[in-house]
Structure 1
Amino acid sequence: MFLWLVYDITDNSLRNKVSEKCLDFGLSRFQKSVFFGELDPEKMNGLADEIEQLLDHEERTEEDSVLLSPVCMACLGKRLVIGKDFNPETYAEKECLFIAE
């Protein structure tokens, strides 16, 4: 399943840690605060858990948020694009790199 992950995090350090988690799970940066990729439900839940732990242990504010939105290929096919388009297949089945701390 494909996944959009979007965040709005005020603290630079915390924002960088969330960004690194996204990359560790094989997501690709689509824009500065937007990641896209293909993850199975178990990995998506694992990523959500790890981000939640980061947010719980760092200096987050009431305004900080992270949205994980799964999307099927049929829905991606119905997308409307203004400007540069993208090919979802480019993001499919990437290898994940897990870094132990």
Structure 2
Amino acid sequence: MGYVILIYDIPDDRVRYRVAERCKDYGLERIQYSAFAGDLDRNRREELMLRLKKTLGKKPGNIRLQPVCTRDLSLAKEVSVDG
């Protein structure tokens, strides 16, 4: 397994919703409105990206899946204010 962060910028609401649902289907957790994170092995990463490419189709948008090594993950910081 490997930790990944998946972010996207998709103007079309319907396509953006389908991308988010697909991320959830693969067990990723929403960390921001257009960002998901979680553990995926290499095969699942490849499979997910193929499915997301098909979901995006010819619509404008950008989807980025970034693996994060354990060392860098341990250095992560977060500031969050609920209000």
TM-score, scaled to structure 1: 0.74
- Other-structure match for 2:26: 25
Gap regions ≥5 residues in structure 2:
none
- Other-structure match for 1:83: 79
Q: Secondary structure of the equivalent of 1:10?
A: coil
* 1:53 correspondence with 2:62: no
- Other-structure match for 1:68: 65
- The structure having more radius of gyration, on CA atoms, is 1
- Other-structure match for 1:99: none
Structure-2 separation of matches of 1:83 and 1:54: 32
Structure having the larger proportion of residues in strand: 2
Gap regions ≥5 residues in structure 1:
85-101
TM-score, scaled to structure 2: 0.89
Structure-2 separation of matches of 1:34 and 1:20: 12
Q: How many residues align?
A: 79
**Percent identical across equivalent pairs?**
33
